[in-house]
Amino acid sequence: MNEKEKLEKFFTQFPGIGPRQAKRFVSFLLFKDIIYVKNLTDTMLNLKQNIKRCPKCNTFFSIKNNYNVCNICMDPRRDKKKILILEKNADLEIFEKASIWKGTYFLIGKNLKINDENPEKSISLSPLMNRLKTDNVEEIIFGLSINPEGDITKDFIKNYLEEQNLLKNIKINELARGLSLGSEIDHSDPITLKSAFYNRK
Ligand SMILES: [Zn+2]
């Protein structure tokens, strides 16, 4: 495999990127000067070195703040007894922008695939389980995508936590289906999101 093909292979591993787009990225880089490419690789390295996952909610946060948890988990004004379960950071950012949620979050990273044979391994629930054991959680709201994968993931998490006996006295809610079918949180506008949030069942 030559250098071009090697890089193309990396790009095809990016979400949503096929072989044709990967080729275009590589040829884009070939036309750029070395300083551009150096800046790009430095930025990628800095990203990995300076951003880590919050052990409480799985959010990515900058370790420059010298704390071990993210700003939201650290904030005394946020209600630790309420947890909104979302798929990814982009979803969380939308909720933060809309300023409608005063509780905390838990990010699962990605929804399960249909027919996932090892769901326990695909989603790491241990930080959430630890919080259910220690934080006197009162309410969990599911804000996963409204599609079959989101539904399967929600059911799996619910059943799994129930089997571990961790859902006693905890209200389980989910966002209302104001979001259109098949919609993803990070494509929804703040008004739709607000209505789904306030109409949660
Ligand atoms: Zn956090």
Ligand 1 midpoint to CA 104 (Å)? 8
Ligand 1 midpoint to CA 50 (Å)? 16
Question: By CB neighbour count within 10 A (0-12 exposed, 13-18 middle, 19+ buried), where does 199 fall?
Answer: exposed
For the chain (length 201 residues), average pLDDT per consecutive 10? Answer: 96 95 97 98 94 91 82 94 94 90 94 85 89 93 90 93 91 75 60 65 55
Residue 142: closest CA among 121, 130, 129, 156: 156
Ligand 1 midpoint to CA 107 (Å)? 9
Ligand 1 midpoint to CA 180 (Å)? 29
Q: 81 — alpha (psi -120 to 50), left (phi > 0) or beta?
A: alpha
Ligand 1 midpoint to CA 56 (Å)? 5
Ligand 1 midpoint to CA 159 (Å)? 24
pLDDT of residue 179: 53
For the chain, the straight-line distance linking the first and the last C-alpha, in angstroms and rounded, comes to 54
pLDDT of residue 177: 63
Give one DSSP letter per residue of 56-80, joined into a string.
TT--EEEGGG--SS-HHHH-TTSEE
pLDDT of residue 22: 97
* Burial state string for 46-84 with b = 16 or more CB within 10 A and e = fewer than 16: eeeeeeebbebbbbebeeeeeeeebebbeeeebebebbb
Ligand 1 midpoint to CA 68 (Å)? 9
Ligand 1 midpoint to CA 46 (Å)? 21
Alpha-carbon distance of 132 to 163, in angstroms, equals: 13
pLDDT of residue 145: 86
Q: Which residue has the tokens 């495999």?
A: 1
Rg (CA), the chain: 20
In sequence order, the 6+-apart residues with CB closer than 8 A to the CB of 29 are: 7, 37, 40
Neighbouring-strand partners of residue 139 = 82, 171
pLDDT of residue 181: 46
Q: For residues 117 and 174, is the Cβ–Cβ distance under 8 A?
A: no
Alpha-carbon distance of 172 to 135, in angstroms, equals: 16
